[in-house]
Amino acid sequence: MKPNSNMKEHILDIAINLITHNGIKNTSLSDISKAAGISKGTLYYHYSSKDDLIFDIADIHLNIITAAVLECVKNIEKNSSKDELINLILRKIATIGSTGRIHMYLLCEALTGNDSLRERIKVKYIQWRTTLQDEIYKNLSESIDESEAFSFLLISIVDGLVVQSILKTEKLPYEKIANFLVSKWI
């Protein structure tokens, strides 16, 4: 067990690991306290409900993805080609694939009735999309309408690729996808 100052972090690490393997519905606070080697009372001291714990996990997860998106768009050079931009975004999102499973569990939880979680995720999605839109507009000289449409398309594609990555259906050909998008759709 870790010192008290790190207890919340320890609980979060254990909970993320359990939820990643078992899902949100199949992970109880009892499972978490047992795996963390702490009493239920200690767990309840830090998290009074499963929702409180899920919210912290969602915040951590969404911040990881937000940082990845922001890093990605910061690396876009003025006058980058569209296929370079798309490839950069797809590859960056792919590097956070280890969080893909927790992302899907959080989305499922939000879509099946956890309204507070849905609102948190909705705010982050809007932030990601508008950040992409702004960078596309600034760096690719697209109209604001085209930048908006392109940002929606990229977020949708990334979500679909995360699902495919989790399912491990096939090795994802990011460069081919980027080239196709540029040559056929843009």
Q: CATH number, domain at 2? A: 1.10.10.60
76 & 165 share domain: yes
pLDDT tens figures, 10-51? 999 999 999 988 888 899 999 999 999 999 999 999 999 898
81 & 13 share domain: no
Cα–Cα distances in angstroms (integers) from residue 115 to residues 20, 41, 70, 99, 110, in the given order: 21, 27, 26, 22, 6
Non-local CB neighbours of 83 within 8 Å, separated by 6+ positions: 178, 179, 181, 182
3 & 74 share domain: no
74 & 91 share domain: yes
**Residue that finishes a domain, picked among 9, 30, 48:** 48
116 & 177 share domain: yes
Please count the other Cβ atoms lying within 10 Å of the Cβ belonging to residue 39: 11
Give me the mean pLDDT over the 45-72 stretch. 83
Contacts 24+ apart (CB under 8 A), 122-126: 124/62, 124/65, 124/66, 125/155
Pair 58, 68: CB distance under 8 Å: no
Q: CA–CA separation, 171 vs 80, rounded Å? A: 26
pLDDT at 2: 47
165 & 114 share domain: yes
Q: CA–CA separation, 39 vs 73, rounded Å? A: 44
23 & 38 share domain: yes
pLDDT tens figures, 87-132? 777 666 666 655 777 888 888 888 898 898 889 888 888 988 898 8
169 & 128 share domain: yes
91 & 65 share domain: yes
Contacts 24+ apart (CB under 8 A), 172-176: 172/94, 174/87, 174/90, 174/91, 174/94, 175/87
| Residue-range definition of the domain harbouring residue 132 | 54-185
pLDDT at 93: 63
64 & 148 share domain: yes
119 & 146 share domain: yes
Q: CA–CA separation, 28 vs 23, rounded Å? A: 10
Could you tell me what percent of the chain has a pLDDT over 70? 80
111 & 163 share domain: yes
When divided into structural domains, the chain yields a total of: 2
Q: Can you give 84-142 as a three-state secondary structure string? A: HHHHHHHHHHHHCHHHHHHHHHHHHHHHCCCHHHHHHHHHHHHHHHHHHHHHHHHHHCC
Domain with residue 126: its CATH number is: 1.10.357
pLDDT at 138: 79
pLDDT at 104: 82
Buried (b) or exposed (e) across 56-72, using 16+ Cβ within 10 A? bbbeebbeebeebbbeb
